[in-house]
């Protein structure tokens, strides 16, 4: 008898087996297999797959989701039947180093695999043959990622730590170090001699667009139709890597010798505050991926947070710090919607003001009150989460953005001050007379070491609101700004020493696009292969692993953490959602693959669930900014405050009865 699938005490893998038995029930079953909030809240460990003897560095589903490929430090590739928990094949890859990436070639009946490893080799394996189709040794440093795209079954791409991004066509013979032209991008020519390639992805809807990540904060996207493939530059033996930083530097930072990459073929993205950061913290793109519709790019930034970029409408958010402070030109409004749920097409500043919701609906007002209470109790992450939810439901209320800005300024996680600046600018678009937003904007600029702009904004504030010009907080900030300018601490005045970059690189960096959304809570500092992926048929969730052995699930709409689960004894690196059902494969330092699917609603306790999401996120923020000694103490149970502002008495919420003089008291304790 076919079991009653309308009962809730099922597991996803059972449903898949049922579908194999009776195809007529496919439609009903698929309706139950969507990644919904209910399924996410019941996600638990389904099975551990044992077979590797080293860290599992990469996972890959085939197109149908019937096979899962894994590769490891043990240099083996294993193909799994994920529904029977069985090995289908163990492939001894022939690599002499840790395997970092494995991909199925599209439309190859799952018989052709491509792998890249620490031995600087790429191998193409035909599973029907005993030997690889070919082995490429064009890279001179470790290969970190391979990329394919479903619509092009004969091309694949690689990213190497030698700064090279190569394109391969399996229809044609490949001969290493010949006149063969396979270099799509040589970052050394533009970034300088220490450029390293870390990740690469191809847009599934627009396969002409290729995005790459490197050992800096910039995300680069190219239209490969405009690029002329070039030769691999000459180099010494692949076994002589010790002097790689001192070789092949005759063109480093001087641009392509034959103008292989035209100026108009590239678009750069970056989180605004990272554009002019100091050099004390290493930032690296560890993973990037396009959304299924091809409109968004998700990036896991090593040493920082996870960012979502909109690749369309490049004129939307190029301006980070506009010295003229024309607010209507310097904020993106793509995700703002009018009361009818239609996308707003706002071109005039007055239109923004008209759309400002001054009287909040009752359910939004309740969320705001709860957020204000969390703020007063110094639960800033909780307050931000509530404001996030309120803004997602009512995205044109100035008071919500103003309040969230205050919470960001108190929490002070990486990127929070810049997020507060963005919120202040949004507030002023909706309500140009918002006093506290004007003042906080100056405060944010000062905290971001933009003292000259902060001075302009503060003077504008004093002229616009003369009744507050003599306020103690205003006078204190004015004094701090003057001292910073006199000391030459403004980031626009400070001459920073960088390695020379090409003229094209300078122009590309001048026209970067800011992020659309930000996801915080995980820690990404220890490994450079940590992934972040969309989860769900509409990408409604974001998943990523963390250095604390957990993996995080965020609601894409609100950016709030939904769940945290323990996925590894040490570090979770890889998370690959099944292509069509609510099933997630994860791996990390442990030599096992873990499969996660919704548990039945039978009251079972999930021992792998982290209960206090805010504490987990706060601990990771500390971990991400700790030195090794502090990290050791933290692992022993010691707790450090998130920042010097954690218990300071800065400006509070926009309560209706709160005096403005109290709100302007922003001087740190």
Question: 646-665, pLDDT tens digit by residue?
Answer: 323 334 445 533 444 444 54
What is the per-residue pLDDT for 633? 59
Q: Which of 47, 21, 15, 7 is CA-nearest to residue 582?
A: 15
SS3 assignment, position 579: coil
CA distances from 91 to 107, 113, 115 (A): 20, 10, 11
SS3 assignment, position 393: helix
What is the per-residue pLDDT for 552? 98
Per-residue pLDDT at 134 exceeds 80: yes
Tokens of 612: 């206090």
Q: What confidence category does residue 481 fall into, taking pLDDT thresholds of 50, 70 and 90?
A: very high
Q: What confidence category does residue 338 fall into, taking pLDDT thresholds of 50, 70 and 90?
A: very low
SS3 assignment, position 502: coil
What backbone torsions phi and psi does residue 302 show, to the nearest 5 degrees? -60, 130
* d(C-alpha 554, C-alpha 563), whole Å: 7
What is the per-residue pLDDT for 651? 42
> Which of 311-315, 374-378, 411-415, 425-429 is least confident?
311-315
Are 407 and 372 within 8 A, CB to CB?
A: no
SS3 assignment, position 60: strand
What is the per-residue pLDDT for 654? 56
Q: What confidence category does residue 495 fall into, taking pLDDT thresholds of 50, 70 and 90?
A: low
SS3 assignment, position 507: helix
Q: Is 338 left (phi over 0), alpha (psi -120 to 50) or beta?
A: beta
* d(C-alpha 70, C-alpha 62), whole Å: 11
Greatest extent of the chain over all pairs of C-alpha atoms, in Å: 82
Q: What confidence category does residue 491 fall into, taking pLDDT thresholds of 50, 70 and 90?
A: confident
Are 449 and 317 within 8 A, CB to CB?
A: no
Are 265 and 228 within 8 A, CB to CB?
A: no
Mean pLDDT rounded to a whole number for the chain: 85
What is the per-residue pLDDT for 12? 55
Per-residue pLDDT at 5 exceeds 70: no
Give the tens place of pLDDT for each residue, 341-368: 333 444 455 677 889 999 999 999 999 9
> Which of 50-59, 98-107, 309-318 is least confident?
309-318
CA distances from 29 to 7, 81, 319 (A): 12, 20, 47
Q: How many CB atoms lie within 10 A of CB 510?
A: 10
What is the per-residue pLDDT for 537? 87
Section 43-56 average pLDDT = 98
Extents of the domains making up the chain? 350-493
Per-residue pLDDT at 450 exceeds 70: yes
Q: What confidence category does residue 106 fall into, taking pLDDT thresholds of 50, 70 and 90?
A: very high
DSSP for 324-359 reads T--GGGS---TT-B-TTSPBP---SHHHHHHT---S
Q: What confidence category does residue 275 fall into, taking pLDDT thresholds of 50, 70 and 90?
A: confident
Give the tens place of pLDDT for each residue, 6-21: 444 445 556 555 555 4
Per-residue pLDDT at 498 exceeds 90: no
> Which of 145-154, 364-373, 602-611 is least confident?
602-611
> Which of 115-124, 172-181, 501-510, 605-614 is least confident?
172-181
* d(C-alpha 451, C-alpha 494), whole Å: 11
Q: Which one is predicted more confidently, 561 or 240?
A: 561
* d(C-alpha 542, C-alpha 561), whole Å: 9
Per-residue pLDDT at 328 exceeds 80: no
Spell out a b/e string for 36-51, using b for 16 or more CB atoms within 10 Å of the CB, else e: eeebbebbbbbbebeb
Q: What confidence category does residue 431 fall into, taking pLDDT thresholds of 50, 70 and 90?
A: very high
What is the per-residue pLDDT for 335? 39
Per-residue pLDDT at 610 exceeds 80: yes
Give kind and range of the element (H or E) at residue 618: helix 613-624
Q: What confidence category does residue 273 fall into, taking pLDDT thresholds of 50, 70 and 90?
A: very high
Per-residue pLDDT at 320 exceeds 70: no
> Which of 74-83, 275-284, 460-469 is least confident?
275-284
What backbone torsions phi and psi does residue 535 show, to the nearest 5 degrees? -135, 125
Per-residue pLDDT at 669 exceeds 60: no
Tokens of 186: 């040589």
Name the CATH superfamily housing domain 350-493: Tetratricopeptide repeat domain (1.25.40.10)
Per-residue pLDDT at 277 exceeds 50: yes
Are 434 and 443 within 8 A, CB to CB?
A: no
Q: What confidence category does residue 2 fall into, taking pLDDT thresholds of 50, 70 and 90?
A: very low
Tokens of 448: 């971001």
Please report, in angstroms and rounded to a whole number, the separation of the first and last CA atoms in the chain: 70
CA distances from 178 to 137, 156, 164 (A): 11, 19, 16
Around 138, how many Cα atoms within 13 Å sit in the side-chain half-sphere? 30
Q: For 412-488, where are the alpha helices, taking DSSP H only?
A: 416-430, 435-447, 451-464, 472-486
CA distances from 443 to 68, 313, 428, 468 (A): 51, 30, 15, 15
What percent of the chain stands above pLDDT 70?
79
What is the per-residue pLDDT for 643? 40
Give the tens place of pLDDT for each residue, 29-41: 444 457 999 999 9
Section 432-447 average pLDDT = 96
């Amino acid at each position: 008898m076919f079991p009653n699938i309308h009962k809730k005490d099922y597991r996803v893998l059972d449903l898949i087996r049922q579908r194999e038995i009776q195809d007529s029930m496919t439609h009903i079953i698929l309706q139950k297999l969507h990644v919904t909030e209910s399924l996410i809240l019941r996600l638990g460990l389904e099975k551990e797959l044992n077979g590797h003897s080293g860290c599992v560095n990469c996972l890959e589903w085939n197109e149908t989701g019937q096979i899962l490929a894994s590769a490891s430090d043990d240099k083996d590739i294993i193909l799994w039947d994920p529904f029977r928990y069985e090995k289908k094949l163990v492939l001894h890859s022939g690599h002499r180093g840790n395997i970092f990436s494995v991909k199925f070639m599209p439309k190859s009946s799952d018989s052709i695999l491509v792998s890249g490893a620490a031995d600087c080799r790429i191998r193409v394996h035909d599973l029907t043959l005993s030997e690889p189709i070919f082995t490429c040794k064009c890279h001179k440093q470790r290969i970190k990622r391979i990329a394919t795209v479903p619509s092009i079954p004969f091309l694949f791409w690689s990213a190497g730590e030698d700064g090279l991004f190569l394109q391969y066509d399996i229809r044609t013979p490949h001969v290493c170090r010949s006149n063969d032209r396979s270099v799509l991008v040589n970052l050394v020519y533009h970034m300088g001699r220490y450029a390293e390639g870390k990740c690469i992805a191809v847009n599934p809807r627009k396969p002409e667009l290729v995005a790459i990540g490197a050992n800096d904060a910039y995300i680069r996207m190219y239209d490969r139709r405009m690029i002329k493939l070039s030769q691999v530059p000459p180099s010494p033996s692949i076994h002589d890597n010790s002097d790689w930083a001192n070789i092949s530097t005759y063109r480093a930072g001087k641009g392509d010798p034959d103008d292989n990459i035209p100026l108009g073929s590239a678009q750069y993205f970056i989180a605004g505050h990272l554009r002019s950061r100091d050099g004390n913290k290493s930032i690296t793109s560890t993973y990037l991926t396009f959304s299924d519709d091809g409109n968004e790019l998700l990036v896991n930034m090593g040493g920082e947070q996870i960012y979502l970029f909109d690749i369309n409408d490049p004129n939307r958010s190029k301006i980070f710090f506009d010295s003229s402070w024309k607010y209507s030109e310097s904020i993106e409004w793509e995700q703002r919607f009018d009361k009818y749920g239609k996308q707003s097409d706002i071109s005039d500043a007055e239109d923004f003001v008209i759309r400002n919701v001054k009287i909040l609906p009752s359910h939004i007002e309740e969320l705001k009150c709860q957020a204000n209470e969390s703020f007063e109790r110094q639960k800033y992450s909780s307050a931000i989460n509530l404001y996030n939810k309120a803004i997602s439901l009512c995205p044109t209320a100035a008071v919500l953005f103003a309040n969230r800005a205050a919470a960001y300024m108190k929490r002070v996680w990486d990127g929070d001050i810049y997020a507060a600046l963005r919120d202040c600018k949004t507030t002023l678009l909706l309500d140009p007379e918002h006093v506290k937003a004007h003042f906080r904007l100056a405060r944010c600029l000062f905290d971001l070491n933009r003292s000259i702009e902060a001075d302009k904004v503060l003077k504008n504030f004093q002229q616009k609101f003369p009744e507050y010009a003599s306020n103690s907080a205003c006078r204190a900030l004015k004094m701090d700004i003057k001292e910073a300018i006199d000391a030459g601490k403004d980031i626009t005045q400070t001459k920073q020493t960088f390695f020379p970059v090409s003229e094209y690189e300078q122009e590309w960096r001048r026209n970067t696009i800011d992020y659309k959304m930000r996801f915080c809570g995980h820690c990404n500092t220890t490994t450079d292969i940590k992934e972040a992926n969309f989860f769900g048929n509409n990408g409604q969730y974001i998943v990523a692993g963390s250095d604390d052995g957990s993996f995080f699930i965020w609601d894409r709409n609100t950016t709030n953490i939904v769940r945290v689960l323990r996925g590894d004894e040490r570090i979770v690196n890889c998370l690959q959602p099944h292509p069509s059902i609510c099933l997630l494969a994860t791996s990390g330092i442990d030599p096992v693959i873990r499969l996660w699917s919704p548990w039945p609603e039978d009251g079972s306790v999930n021992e792998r669930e982290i209960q206090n999401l805010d504490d987990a996120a706060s601990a990771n923020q500390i971990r991400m900014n700790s030195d090794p000694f502090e990290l050791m103490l933290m692992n022993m149970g010691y707790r450090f405050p998130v920042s010097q502002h954690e218990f300071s008495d800065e400006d509070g919420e926009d309560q209706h009865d709160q005096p403005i003089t109290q709100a302007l008291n922003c001087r740190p304790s």
